[in-house]
Amino acid sequence: DVKVTQSSRYLVKRTGEKVFLECVQDMDHENMFWYRQDPGLGLRLIYFSYDVKMKEKGDIPEGYSVSREKKERFSLILESASTNQTSMYLCASKRGTEAFFGQGTRLTVV
């Protein structure tokens, strides 16, 4: 089975902290994605990557950056966390047609 693993299920951080969310996939997929999910807003694409060291902005990249140094790992970075970044973050990977999602990281910024 394809596995997309996010490093933490729950995370609490302070305003202004630098936050790293890690995602690892085990199926050699080229494409990886970061979304945030908020009630009533659905899944909003933050960044995606189609190859190592390659990245593209999604619909809401402001306040975020990403890193993909190895094919299996895609990191989301909040340079200076703010309370409006409190959300559920979902990572996904895809090759071909089907995307596989991780279980999500619920981040609370206080």
Partner 1 sequence: QQPVQSPQAVILREGEDAVINCSSSKALYSVHWYRQKHGEAPVFLMILLKGGEQKGHDKISASFNEKKQQSSLYLTASQLSYSGTYFCGTGSGGGADGLTFGKGTHLIIQP
Q: Which positions touch partner 1 (CB under 8 A)?
A: 31, 33, 35, 40-45, 48, 50, 54, 56, 58-59, 90, 92, 94, 97-104
Residue pair 91/80 in contact (Cβ under 8 Å)? The answer is no
User: Quick one: 58 or 63, whose CB is closer to partner 1?
Assistant: 58
User: Quick one: 75 or 102, whose CB is closer to partner 1?
Assistant: 102
User: Quick one: 16 or 27, whose CB is closer to partner 1?
Assistant: 27
Kindly report the backbone phi and psi dihedral angles of residue 31, in degrees, each rounded to the nearest multiple of 5, phi listed first.
-95, 135
Rounded distance between C-alpha atoms, residue 92 and residue 76, angstroms: 12
Q: How far is the CB of 102 from partner 1 (least distance, A)?
A: 6
Q: How far is the CB of 85 from partner 1 (least distance, A)?
A: 19
Task: Read off the DSSP letter of residue 17.
Answer: -
Rounded distance between C-alpha atoms, residue 34 and residue 93, angstroms: 9
User: 29 burial class (0-12, 13-18, 19+ CB within 10 angstroms)?
Assistant: buried
Q: How far is the CB of 100 from partner 1 (least distance, A)?
A: 8
User: Quick one: 17 or 28, whose CB is closer to partner 1?
Assistant: 28
